[in-house]
């Protein structure tokens, strides 16, 4: 039997995707599924959709400021709201794919988690390429090598391809998940995802 | 001990608020809470926020079309997507408050549920005042009386006051709930609402 797959679309500046990142592996294991992490450029997707970042909506933004920390508490994920928010994550995203291309998805996931912790726990400015390289060094990558990797055409191309693919598949926010093509938006959809992983359908819900 | 209260903000054209309407009473009973229904003009709130109706976003709209029926199945609420969607609900909203002013909140809730069933199960056009009056008649109100009520200044004023109040309290979508002032947006927040009703805090989550 093929293992079920959860595709997990995230951006390193999305608090809700960060919260999801803290629980999705355990969730997947519980449901006998694998998780494929797909970092992408959320800003490009917003632009394409005619949507705006959360905090640019006055009421929805105020709600998010109250909701994000309590969600983190609810899901038992450590959270500190970053001083600079939101930030550009291009360097981190390219570094992620630079690592993935050379060392594989598991290695890239370790780096992605380190990047998330740096931003959403330790308040480090991950829009700064030097900080990204430092974080890379902390998980074992030579900074000069990583700097070359994140500027390489294959890393850039891979990020662009994943982002284009996200748009073509209808992704409009983060976290966004696919299970066998079925789309789920938001960390609060885990109960429905659990149902779908178990039953594979809605009609007998 | 005072019973806990869930304030439930809804519009009669919101599918997610309709789904919430089908489960919120049982949910509240289970958690020893009362529900106060507060129908309001969602369109006015969207306009104020610089937001657009769901289906005007190409990707989010496509997602909603897929998500609404499966949510209804997941929550075991009957659902048929209306041919005309979204529609103006002003007549229904005013009729709701016309009934509430004369017969109280419980009577108005019965009417609200009938209106929801008419729209989201039986595909009736609730933007048509005559249909609203018919639905009123089906739950026991004289059509001439209800017609006068829904055009009366007190009903209009009450709807305006509830809508203004919603905006002032930060409501930007539907369903929207308050429990002791704590805001919750979306039917998928019921697990967090359950936690909050039980614990009254997030810090020990």
Nearest to B63 among A67, A167, A185 (CB): A185
pLDDT at site A204: 58
> What is the SS3 assignment for B157?
helix
Q: Give me the long-range contacts of A149-153 (CB less than 8 A, separation at least 24).
A: A149/A94, A149/A95, A149/A98, A149/A99, A149/A101, A149/A102, A150/A91, A150/A94, A150/A95, A150/A98, A151/A94, A152/A98
pLDDT at site A14: 96
- Rounded mean pLDDT, B114-137: 98
Contacts of B51 (CB under 8 A, 6+ apart): A57, A60, B172, B173
**Cα(B167)–Cα(B36) distance, integer angstroms:** 17
B59 and A172 in contact by Cβ < 8 A? yes
Query: Which value does ipTM take for this structure?
Result: 0.91
Q: Express each pLDDT in B34-63 by its tens digit.
A: 999 999 999 988 888 888 777 888 899 999
Lowest mean pLDDT segment, chosen from A47-51, A96-100, A142-146, B115-119:
A47-51
**Cα(B16)–Cα(B81) distance, integer angstroms:** 12
Residues of chain B with Cβ-Cβ distance to A58 below 8 Å are 49-50
Nearest to A203 among B60, B62, B73 (CB): B73
Q: How far is A105 from chain B (nearest CA, A)?
A: 28
HSE value, Cβ hemisphere, 13 Å, CA-based, for B161: 7
pLDDT over threshold 90, residue A1? no
Predicted model pTM: 0.94
**Cα(B172)–Cα(B176) distance, integer angstroms:** 8
Nearest to A51 among B57, B71, B171 (CB): B57
For chain A, give the mean pLDDT: 95
pLDDT over threshold 80, residue A140? yes
Residue A186 and residue A173 in contact, taking contact as beta carbons nearer than 8 Å? yes
B71 and A172 in contact by Cβ < 8 A? no
- Measured between CA atoms, the residue of chain A closest to residue B171 is A59
Q: How far is B138 from chain A (nearest CA, A)?
A: 31
**Cα(A15)–Cα(A12) distance, integer angstroms:** 8
pLDDT at site B3: 84
Q: How far is A37 from chain B (nearest CA, A)?
A: 21
- Rounded mean pLDDT, A98-121: 98
pLDDT at site A205: 45
Q: Express each pLDDT in B147-168 by its tens digit.
A: 999 999 999 999 999 999 999 9
How far, in Å, are A39, A71, A107 from residue A22 at the CA level?
A: 15, 12, 16
Residues of chain A with Cβ-Cβ distance to B195 below 8 Å are 74
B59 and A49 in contact by Cβ < 8 A? yes
pLDDT over threshold 50, residue A201? yes
Q: Express each pLDDT in B172-189 by its tens digit.
A: 999 999 999 999 999 999
Specify the DSSP class assigned to residue B2. Answer: P
Residues of chain B with Cβ-Cβ distance to A186 below 8 Å are 188
**Cα(A175)–Cα(A187) distance, integer angstroms:** 6
Nearest to A73 among B49, B62, B205 (CB): B205
Query: A42 pLDDT band (50/70/90 cuts)?
Result: very high
Q: Express each pLDDT in B79-106 by its tens digit.
A: 999 999 999 999 999 999 999 999 999 9
**Cα(A34)–Cα(B155) distance, integer angstroms:** 55
Residues of chain A with Cβ-Cβ distance to B183 below 8 Å are 63, 66-67
Residue A38 and residue A94 in contact, taking contact as beta carbons nearer than 8 Å? no
- Mapped to the 3 state alphabet, what secondary structure does B4-35 carry? EEEEEEECCCCHHHHHHHHHHHHHHHHCCEEE
Q: How far is B133 from chain A (nearest CA, A)?
A: 35
Residue A131 and residue A124 in contact, taking contact as beta carbons nearer than 8 Å? yes
Better-scored residue on pLDDT, A205 or B34: B34
Nearest to B172 among A60, A70, A185 (CB): A60
B73 and A185 in contact by Cβ < 8 A? no
> What is the SS3 assignment for A189?
helix
B49 and A57 in contact by Cβ < 8 A? yes
Nearest to A59 among B71, B170, B202 (CB): B170
**Cα(B183)–Cα(A63) distance, integer angstroms:** 8
HSE value, Cβ hemisphere, 13 Å, CA-based, for A67: 22
Beta strands in B149-204 (DSSP E): 176-179, 182-185
Q: How far is B53 from chain A (nearest CA, A)?
A: 12
pLDDT at site A88: 95
Q: Give Dmax over CA atoms of chain B in angstroms.
A: 55
pLDDT at site B56: 84
pLDDT at site A202: 84
pLDDT over threshold 60, residue A5? yes
pLDDT over threshold 80, residue A132? yes
pLDDT over threshold 80, residue B204? no
For chain B, give the mean pLDDT: 95
Residue A187 and residue A16 in contact, taking contact as beta carbons nearer than 8 Å? yes
Residues of chain B with Cβ-Cβ distance to A189 below 8 Å are 188
């Amino acid at each position: 039997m093929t293992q079920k797959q959860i595709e997990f679309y995230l951006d390193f500046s999305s608090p809700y995707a960060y919260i999801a990142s803290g629980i999705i592996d355990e969730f997947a294991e519980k449901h006998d599924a694998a998780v494929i992490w797909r970092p992408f450029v959320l800003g490009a997707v917003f632009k394409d959709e005619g949507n705006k970042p959360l905090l640019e909506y006055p009421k929805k933004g105020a709600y998010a400021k109250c909701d994000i920390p309590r969600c983190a508490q609810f899901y038992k994920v450590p959270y500190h709201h970053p001083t600079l928010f939101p930030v550009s994550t291009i360097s981190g995203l390219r570094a992620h794919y630079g690592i993935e291309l050379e060392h594989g998805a598991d290695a890239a996931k370790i780096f992605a988690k380190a990047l998330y912790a740096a931003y959403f726990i330790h308040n480090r400015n991950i829009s700064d390429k030097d900080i990204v390289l430092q974080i890379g060094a902390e998980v074992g990558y030579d900074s000069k090598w990583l700097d070359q990797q994140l500027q390489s055409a294959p890393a850039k191309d891979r990020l662009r391809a994943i982002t284009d693919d996200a748009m073509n598949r209808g992704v409009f926010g983060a976290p966004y998940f696919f299970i066998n093509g079925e789309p789920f938006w938001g960390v609060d959809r885990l109960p429905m995802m659990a149902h779908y992983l178990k039953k594979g359908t809605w009609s007998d819900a």
